């Protein structure tokens, strides 16, 4: 049986926000089964912000969630680590306006969580089973999700830059290692966009410490890339984080072509807008999976539980 998970103990992580440049600290706190994942702006108002696509308040270069004027920016990399580690329940207290960017990937979140370990709870995992194809488009870009016997993510990035003309990668959830293959992939950006982002109040905390910066001649970070196709791996990471805003893991096939947070958010809203698009299922009914030709996803990371 595939049981719900939370973190074994409290985890504290400190850093600065990519967009605000503000110092920030988060505490990830264990939570009971069936309570889900929720954020609390602990330094300001202390209102609970549960995960739901309707609580996304901005998708400009990050995914931000909020209620009643209290918001938290750049939740996607932390949420990708939750997706990748199969965490269903946790409370995240945030002291500051933004989740720390750390090294621009999800690796330090994953390492910190695995260091304290995961707790298996006594309730079966729940999933959103995709029943009908759903797709949102903007120009030639799109994000879509199709019914599939398991969970997989395919991303394609394409930019007018020789280094990033076309990168495609598929991540099969039960066949590849999220911790090693996806979580270390860092945020990337183009040098010629930095000035514009900063003018618009974004990327105030961005540097080569937390962003792969691509100049005209190539990557300007002295250590180069962690993977040859690090940008498309990061897109997969971002997509996992954005999908986690549903609050529940998915059985379906996500595909993003030049997609970003805005399209992903539109996709989640469209998926939930029609009850015929999906079905909530529980891992306690493996028979249902057999009869309907899908598999309950299993998590490869960590291998010990």
| Residues carrying an active site annotation | 261
CA–CA separation, 269 vs 240, rounded Å? 16
Give me the least distance between CB of 8 and Zn ion, in Å please: 27
User: First-to-last CA distance in the chain?
Assistant: 12
| Segment lying near Zn ion (by CB under 5 A), choices 116-124, 131-139, 179-187, 205-213 | 179-187
Q: Within 13 A of 1's CA, how many CA atoms are on the CB side?
A: 14
Residue closer to Zn ion, measured from CB, 93 or 238 = 238
Minimal CB distance to Zn ion: which residue?
238
Among 61, 187, 221, 301, binds Zn ion (CB under 5 A): 187
Give me the least distance between CB of 247 and Zn ion, in Å please: 19
CA–CA separation, 291 vs 75, rounded Å? 36
Residue closer to Zn ion, measured from CB, 129 or 156 = 156
Give me the least distance between CB of 62 and Zn ion, in Å please: 7
| Segment lying near Zn ion (by CB under 5 A), choices 47-55, 136-144, 170-178, 184-192 | 184-192
| Segment lying near Zn ion (by CB under 5 A), choices 82-90, 118-126, 183-191, 248-256 | 183-191
Residue closer to Zn ion, measured from CB, 19 or 125 = 19
CA–CA separation, 287 vs 278, rounded Å? 18
Residue closer to Zn ion, measured from CB, 89 or 187 = 187
Give me the least distance between CB of 143 and Zn ion, in Å please: 15
Q: Please report whether residue 238 would count as binding Zn ion according to CB under 5 A.
A: yes
CA–CA separation, 114 vs 234, rounded Å? 20
| Segment lying near Zn ion (by CB under 5 A), choices 28-36, 42-50, 127-135, 187-195 | 187-195
Show the tokens assigned to 14: 């400190």
CA–CA separation, 199 vs 195, rounded Å? 6
Q: Please report whether residue 242 would count as binding Zn ion according to CB under 5 A.
A: no
Q: Please report whether residue 230 would count as binding Zn ion according to CB under 5 A.
A: no
Give me the least distance between CB of 187 and Zn ion, in Å please: 5
- Contact yes or no for 99/37 (Cβ under 8 A): no
Catalog residues that contact Zn ion under the rule CB under 5 A: 187, 238
């Amino acid at each position: 049986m595939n049981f719900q998970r939370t973190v074994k103990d409290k985890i504290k992580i400190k850093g600065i926000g990519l967009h605000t440049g503000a110092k920030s600290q988060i505490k990830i706190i264990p939570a009971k089964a069936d309570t889900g994942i929720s954020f609390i702006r602990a330094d300001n108002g202390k209102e609970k912000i549960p995960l739901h696509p309707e609580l996304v308040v901005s998708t400009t270069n990050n995914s931000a969630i909020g209620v009643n004027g209290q918001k938290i920016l750049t939740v996607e990399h932390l949420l990708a680590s939750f997706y990748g580690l199969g965490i269903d329940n946790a409370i995240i207290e945030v002291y500051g306006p933004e989740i720390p960017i750390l090294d621009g990937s999800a690796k330090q979140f994953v390492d910190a969580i695995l260091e304290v370990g995961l707790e298996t709870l006594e309730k079966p995992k729940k999933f959103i089973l995709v029943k009908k194809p759903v797709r949102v488009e903007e120009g030639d870009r799109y994000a879509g999700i199709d019914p599939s016997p398991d969970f997989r993510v395919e991303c394609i990035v394409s930019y007018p830059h020789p280094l990033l003309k076309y990168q495609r990668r598929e991540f099969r959830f039960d066949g590849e290692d999220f911790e090693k293959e996806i979580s270390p992939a860092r945020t990337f950006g183009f040098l010629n966009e930095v000035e514009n982002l900063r003018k618009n109040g974004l990327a105030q905390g961005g540097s080569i410490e937390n962003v792969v910066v691509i100049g005209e001649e190539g990557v300007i970070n002295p250590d180069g890339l962690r993977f040859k196709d690090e940008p498309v791996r990061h897109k997969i990471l971002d997509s996992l984080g954005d999908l986690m805003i549903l609050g529940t893991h998915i059985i379906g096939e996500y595909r993003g072509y030049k997609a970003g947070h805005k399209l992903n958010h539109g996709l989640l809203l469209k998926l939930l807008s029609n009850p015929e698009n999906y079905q909530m299922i529980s891992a306690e009914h493996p028979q249902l999976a057999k009869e309907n030709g899908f598999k309950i996803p299993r998590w490869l990371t960590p291998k010990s539980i």
